[in-house]
Amino acid sequence: MTTQTLPAAGADAGTRARRVLAQTRFETAAVLRNGEQLLLTFILPVIALVVLVRTDLVALPGATRTPAALAGVLALAVASTAFTSQAIAVAFDRRWGVLRMLATTPLGRRGLLAGKLGAVVCVLAVQAVVLMLVAAGLGWRGEGLGVVALLGGALFVLLGAAAFVSLALLIGGTLRPEAVLAVANLLWVLMAGAGGLLLPADTLPGPLAQVVVLLPSGALGEGLRLLATTGRLDLAALAVLAVWTAAGSWLAARYFRWD
């Protein structure tokens, strides 16, 4: 009996994995083929990187501007892909009945969510490569890019993505699509300008600097900048992201609506 059950379980697990991979490919292609998504996830971050490196509009830490600028723009890319893009996509998928339909297929709800998470990771990987190539074109020669920075950066990006995806599911799964479109884009602008993504917290006025580092945007931006300019891992920023991930996941699981 045991020898018959194990292969069946293994085959079932393999089938589920193939379904999730297929959904991941579909979700990734949907982002990369959509003009509005490309503007949000690639074009605007690249423009921000060029502006931060080539101008002195913002004071950045470090001996050269590029490492801190690249770290901030990578944080912006995470917010673009994992939060704004996903929130809008989920909201309109709800309206059109896509989520409800896919949830009743063999893929299931967990497989659908796993596919979306996989797509976020794939797009983020492409974004990171593109941004580093652009930075190299602007004169960056790998300053601040060591083993610790790579591993720590991957940890920050994955945890930041988890926090933002959970919040995207919360907003996209509870509000009307029109409201999600407005809220997600407004929050993206606020996070980019005053939320610690592009601008270091110490450049913000008054008590805003202390508040920003407690937000997922500020924790991600400050953590990546510190890592890129000093090689130090900001454990407090990681803790903030972990708390937001846990809270966002709990709220999304409780209030998310599939239709």
What are the tokens at 68?
């801190």
Comparing CA positions, the residue from 79, 98, 102 lying closest to residue 166 is 79
Q: Are 166 and 245 in contact (CB under 8 A)?
A: yes
Q: Using one digit for the tens of pLDDT, what is the confidence trace for 158-207?
A: 999 999 999 999 999 999 999 999 999 999 999 999 999 999 999 888 88
Specify the amino acid at residue 65.
R
Confidence grade of residue 104 (pLDDT, cut at 50, 70, 90): confident
Contact 228, 70 (CB under 8 A): yes
One-letter identity of residue 229: T
**Angle ∠(225,226,228) on CA atoms, nearest 5:** 65
d(CA 53, CA 35): 26
* pLDDT tier, 11 (very low <50, low <70, confident <90, very high otherwise): low
Q: Are 117 and 27 in contact (CB under 8 A)?
A: no
Judge residue 178's burial from the number of C-beta atoms within 10 Å of its C-beta, 0-12 exposed, 13-18 middle, 19 or more buried. Answer: exposed
Tell whether the model's pLDDT for residue 146 goes beyond 50.
Answer: yes
| Residue-wise pLDDT tens digits, 80-102 | 999 999 999 999 999 998 888 87
Spatial CA neighbour of 83 closest among 144, 25, 37: 37
Centre a 10 Å sphere on the Cβ of residue 44 and count the other Cβ atoms it contains.
17
Which has the higher per-residue pLDDT, 79 or 1?
Answer: 79
Average pLDDT over residues 39-47: 95
Round to whole Å and give the CA distance between 86 and 92: 10
**What was the pLDDT predicted at 1?**
46
